[in-house]
Amino acid sequence: MGKPTGFMEYERKVPENRSPEERIRDWNEFRLDFSEERLRTQGARCMDCGTPFCHTGMMVAGMASGCPINNLIPEWNDLVYRGLWKEAYLRLKKTNNFPEFTGRVCPAPCEGSCTLGLNELPVTIKNIEYAIIEKAYEEGWAMPELPAGRTGKRVAVVGSGPAGLACADQLNHAGHEVTVFERADRVGGLLMYGIPNMKLDKKVVNRRLDLMAEEGVEFITNTEVGKDYPAERLLREFDAVVLCGGATKPRDLPIEGRDLQGIHFAMDFLRSSSKRLLDTNHRNENAISAKGLDVVVIGGGDTGTDCVATAIRQGCRSLTQLEILPKPPASRQPDNPWPQWPKTFRVDYGQEEATILYGKHPCQFSIMTTKFVGDENGRVRELHTVQVEWVGGNNGTRPHPVAIPGTEKIVPGQLVLLAMGFLGPEDTLLDPIGVERDNRSNVKTPSGRFATSVEGVFAAGDMHRGQSLVVWAIHEGRGAARECDRYLMGTTNLP
């Protein structure tokens, strides 16, 4: 695939992002494009490795390896190298409904399992994917594709995040009449309100939603199933239902002072910021704002990074990020071999911006918050923290943090953002429908399947799998659509 000797001739190159000094002044996407010539050169690095792991999407020792939606990566890398862009797009869309999303926000597990990555830097798979879909839109290849006919079957998809949209897209192409219910005022779920605009421009989301609407998918917003729209009515009016409501119950930090003003869940902050941008171009003063405040983000994952970048753009006075886990190593460790995803230290876009702005990396590792302290008005003023050491993990016991005496510190903060992950789906939708849950409160289905305990009801995405990546949500949505189509028709041709 690609040029047989390309991996020996060319170095890995990725497009530069806009400079941090420039991009923190606006809410536009931070990435820059590559020239076609340079993209073709990067495609040439895809080696004829014999057994590519990049597109396997399998679990290795409990960790995901390769692309969950089995993108035909070596094939479209080769086509890009040869300048056959339309053919590359046709191969890409066979497996990925939304490459414009994954090409922007996916951490690229495919690159973590690239064979070249064994002893060199891996192929720039994510950037090539992004370039293919953008080329398709520019050239007019990404056009509405109406189904050949309609089956007369009606399907309700509850939730319009990546899982719900992928499921709806597949079922619509199978000829079913698909209605997507979204409780927010805009369609897109996490894509619209959970990921900041500089990482995923909402024009990109709306571009795809407009395409799906032209293809016949119906979207209903401001409607929460189980509350505004009774669950029994949903089951009565549709031939099948697919639940894609996400794992939106945030993990809390129930310590002293938690009830103080100024402590918010990360998603509430990100949703408020995105809505403020879309509604009023940040003129709404009632939204949660970091302007002029010392901001502390608790949690070091992608959501924490997005909070860091958002707070900087809102004009925070200072920025501190606290992570209870130890700092990841600089390179793979023996217990994290290829082709697993490399658990190594990375500087994401938000941390890069904070480092430029404040002169140091904002994240402090192995830090536990012990209490919040407020001012005379009941607003959070500071956090009390302690450094921890992780012990245990032997003989089947789970590692746990232990405070190190003498390492206590006080961190100023008038805005605290809790970005510690999610516990599972909310009850508003699931309880009225009556589906069975697993021991993590997610919707329970047979292993590797998507049918719930209620006939004709399926589940996909974080609501079914637990908190995960956008690309896994797309995988789940496609799988649920295939199973739903088979339930409705007795057989299925969906991939």
Q: Can you give the pLDDT of all 495 residues of the chain as single tens digits?
A: 678 899 999 999 999 999 999 999 999 999 999 999 999 999 999 988 988 999 988 888 777 789 999 999 999 999 999 999 999 999 999 999 999 999 999 999 999 999 999 989 999 999 999 999 999 999 999 999 999 999 999 999 999 999 999 999 999 999 999 999 999 999 999 999 999 999 999 999 999 999 999 999 999 999 999 999 999 999 999 999 999 999 999 999 999 999 999 999 999 999 999 999 999 887 767 789 999 999 999 999 999 999 999 999 999 999 999 999 999 999 999 989 999 999 999 999 999 999 999 999 999 999 999 999 999 999 999 999 999 999 987 777 889 999 999 999 999 999 999 999 999 999 989 999 999 999 999 999 999 999 999 999 999 999 999 999 999 999 999 999 999 999 999 999 999
C-alpha closest to that of 241 among 434, 425, 95 = 434
With CA atoms as reference, report the closest residue to 189 among 81, 113, 254, 101: 101
Check residue 396 and give its pLDDT: 72
> What pLDDT was estimated at residue 1?
64
Domain boundaries for CATH 3.50.50.60 within the chain? 154-248+423-489, 252-420
Nearest residue to 234 (alpha-carbon basis) of 301, 157, 299, 319: 157
Helices (H), 63-108: 73-81, 85-92, 99-105
C-beta atoms surrounding 106 within 10 Å: 23
For residues 41 and 112, give the distance between their C-alpha atoms in angstroms, rounded to a whole number.
Answer: 20
Let me know: does 495 contact 478? Beta carbons within 8 Å: yes
- 1, 48 Cβ separation under 8 angstroms: yes
In this structure, what are the phi and psi dihedrals at residue 386, rounded to the nearest 5 degrees?
-150, 145
State phi, psi for 403 to the nearest 5 degrees. Answer: -65, 140
422 contacts 301 by C-beta, under 8 angstroms: no
378 sits in which H/E element? none
Edge to edge, what strands does the sheet with 218-220 contain? 218-220, 177-181, 154-158, 240-243, 457-459
- Pick the closest to residue 429 from 441, 417, 421 (CA basis): 441
Give the C-alpha separation, 349 to 309, whole Å. 7
- What residue spans in the chain does CATH classification 1.10.1060.10 cover? 6-139
Contacts 24+ apart (CB under 8 A), 264-267: 264/288, 264/415, 264/416, 264/417, 264/418, 265/417, 265/418, 266/297, 266/299, 266/303, 266/304, 266/306, 266/307, 266/417, 266/418, 266/419, 267/193, 267/194, 267/303
> Could you say which architecture CATH assigns to the domain 6-139?
Orthogonal Bundle (1.10)
CATH superfamily ID and name for 154-248+423-489: FAD/NAD(P)-binding domain (3.50.50.60)
Structure tokens at 43: 């495609």
Helix boundaries (H) for 96-161: 99-105, 109-112, 125-139
Check if the beta carbon of residue 238 is closer than 8 Å to that of residue 181. no
User: In whole angstroms, how far apart are CA 160 and each of 224, 248, 414?
Assistant: 12, 13, 34
Say if residues 473 and 95 touch (Cβ distance below 8 Å). no
Bridging pattern class, strands 249-250 and 177-181: unpaired
Q: Where are the beta strands (DSSP E) in 396-472?
A: 400-403, 409-412, 415-418, 422-424, 457-459
Report the chain's C-alpha Rg in angstroms.
Answer: 23
Q: What is the pTM of this model?
A: 0.96
Q: What is the C-alpha separation between 466 and 6, in angstroms, rounded?
A: 40
**pLDDT value of position 50:** 86
pLDDT at 360: 93
Structure tokens at 245: 């409501």
Cα–Cα distance between 388 and 368 in angstroms, integer? 7
Q: How far is CA 293 from CA 174, 312, 316, 357, in A?
A: 51, 10, 5, 15
CB atoms within 10 A of CB 29: 18
d(CA 56, CA 340): 11
CATH class, domain 252-420, is alpha beta
Rounded Cα gap, residues 306 and 312, in angstroms: 10
- Angstrom CA distances, 442 to 74, 231, 426, 431, 477, stand at 35, 18, 9, 12, 15
Largest pairwise CA distance in the chain: 71
Compute the distance between CA of residue 386 and CA of residue 399 in angstroms, rounded to an integer.
18
What's the count of helices (H) and strands (E) in the chain, helices before strands?
A: 17, 18
Query: What is the distance between the terminal CA atoms of the chain, rounded to a whole angstrom?
Result: 24
Residues constituting the chain: 495
